[in-house]
Amino acid sequence: MRKKSITRPVIVAVAADSGAGKSTFLRRVQRMFGTEVPKGHTPQGELMTVICLDDWHNRDRQGRKVDQITALDENCQNFELMAEQLEALKEGRDIMKPIYNHDTGNIDPPELIQPNHIIVIEGLHPLYDERVRKLVDFSVYLDLDDEVKVAWKIQRDMAERGHTLDNILASIEARKPDFERFVLPQREYADAILQVKPTELIPDDKERKVLKVRLMQREGVPGFTTAYLFDEGSTIVWTPCGRRLTCAYPGIRFRYGPEVFYGRDFSSIEVDGEFDKLEELVYIESHLSNIATKYYGELTQLMLAAQSAPGAKNGTALFQTVAALKIREIYEQLTGRKVDPMVRA
């Protein structure tokens, strides 16, 4: 590969449990930058490289079994090497990164990773270690309520992989203590948190098809201006259903307002419900501000372009798209470079 000239590598962290939607979100982010990110263990595209942090596991699957330690445990990660190698990439140096092979559970021979304009680090622990955290320019934590986690796992593991319900529930329960100890606390450090919760619009909903999704945005992060609904800083509840937006049962409800989280100022936008017709979203889009679009309707076009993705008609897609637009904006702010919109009106 030819050596690129990169003035300011931007490191974006995406933290979440496995199965929380990281890959789904990152497909949206990649579309935003129009980069054909090649397939392969570590996709290294023209603009963006996506590194899975499992590569810095310090034990293979067999070793974890012998030592009775889960992949979620801090003692199972080589944070020292992770920090050292990410720092090297940020300073423009090549690295030989280890590979954790998810199919075999083995640690494979290392691969060459070259610096890039944007380096996404995704996985269980991008914000766990202070040395790594200091290198991160912008971070997103995907925060699923247990009920939603179970529903998504059932959908994937039962429908697509033939697991039983009991197996799925047992594996979630088994992971829980280490998840709560090692993964969840990273939420404190995230610049944006995407929370996915059961709907409040259907009493005793058990289906978990309709979701309440919140985008919590931290104030004062360099390069990151928070998106808002109607009037910045105020507190608003909005039911957009009516003449301009078709809403099926149980309808749609937005909320917007400031909040304090771990002692820090955030502003949050929330949407409960499902969109009926994605083309009509431009009505919602026209009431949102600071969403970092490059033309009127870009958010709607991006949602339409990904209408077969999971959650395409609810707040997960809406706010993942806003977060992706923000990543583009932050990249432009921090580097002074411009990215052309990839999906056109």
Judged by beta carbon distances under 5 to 8 A according to partner kind, the member of ligand ADP, ligand G6P, none in contact with residue 61 is: ligand G6P
Residues 52 and 1: their CA atoms lie apart, in Å, by 21
Range in contact with ligand ADP (rule: CB under 6 A) among 99-107, 222-230, 290-298, 310-318: 310-318
- 3 state SS of 71: coil
Q: Which residue has the tokens 């996985």?
A: 123
- The binder of ligand ADP chosen from 9, 12, 21, 278 (CB under 6 A): 21
Min dist. Cβ of residue 91 to ligand ADP (A): 29
Sites for ligand G6P among residues 24-83 (CB under 6 A): 54, 61, 64, 71
Pick one of ligand G6P, ligand ADP, none as the site partner of residue 24 (Cβ within 5 to 8 A by kind): ligand ADP
Distance CA 322, CA 316 (A): 10
Q: Which of the choices ligand ADP, ligand G6P, none does residue 47 contact, using the CB cut-off of 5 to 8 A by kind?
A: none
**Residues 120 to 179 in contact with ligand ADP, rule: CB under 6 A:** 152, 155-156
**CA angle (22, 66, 149) in 5-degree steps:** 25
What is the x/- site pattern for ligand G6P, positions 4-23, by CB under 6 A? --------------x-----
Would you say 140 and 29 are in contact if contact means Cβ atoms under 8 Å apart? no
Q: Which listed residue (186, 293, 316, 335) binds ligand ADP by CB under 6 A?
A: 316
Contact 218, 266 (CB under 8 A): yes
Look up residue 116 and give its amino acid: N
Q: Which is nearer to ligand ADP, 211 or 339 (CB)?
A: 211
From 10, 20, 124, 292, residue interacting with ligand ADP (rule: CB under 6 A)? 20
Q: Which does 223 bind (CB under 5 to 8 A by kind): ligand ADP, ligand G6P, none?
A: none
**Structure-token pair, residue 76:** 């199972």
Q: Which is nearer to ligand G6P, 128 or 319 (CB)?
A: 128
Count of residues interacting with ligand ADP (CB under 6 A): 14
Residue 97 is which amino acid?
K
* Residue 251 contact among ligand ADP, ligand G6P, none, beta carbon within 5 to 8 Å by kind: none
Minimal distance, residue 60 CB to ligand G6P, in Å: 9
Report the C-alpha gap between 301 and 296 in whole angstroms: 10
**Contacting residue, 10, 113, 124, 144, with ligand G6P by CB under 6 A:** 124
CA distance 95 to 115: 8
CB 256 within 8 A of CB 206: no
What's the closest the beta carbon of residue 123 comes to ligand G6P, in angstroms?
6
Q: State the minimum distance, in angstroms, from the CB of residue 278 to ligand ADP.
A: 14
Q: Which residues contact 228 (CB under 8 A, 6 or more apart)?
A: 256, 267, 269, 288, 289, 290
Complex with ligand ADP: residue 114 or 155, whichever CB lies closer: 155
Nearer to ligand G6P, 66 or 112 (CB): 66
Is 191 within 8 Å of 224 (Cβ atoms)? yes
Among ligand ADP, ligand G6P, none, partner that 105 touches (CB below 5 to 8 angstroms by kind): ligand G6P
Q: State the DSSP string of 296-316.
A: TTHHHHHHHHTTTSTTTTBHH
* Of 54 and 272, CB closest to ligand G6P: 54
CB of 190 closer than 8 Å to CB of 15 = yes
Give residue 74's identity as a one-letter amino acid code: E
Q: Is the dihedral of CA 266, 325, 130, 175 positive or negative?
A: positive
SS3 30: helix
Hey, how many other C-beta atoms are within 10 angstroms of the C-beta on 127? Answer: 23
Residues in touch with ligand ADP (CB under 6 A): 16, 18-24, 152, 155-156, 310-311, 316
Residues in touch with ligand G6P (CB under 6 A): 18, 54, 61, 64, 71, 105, 124
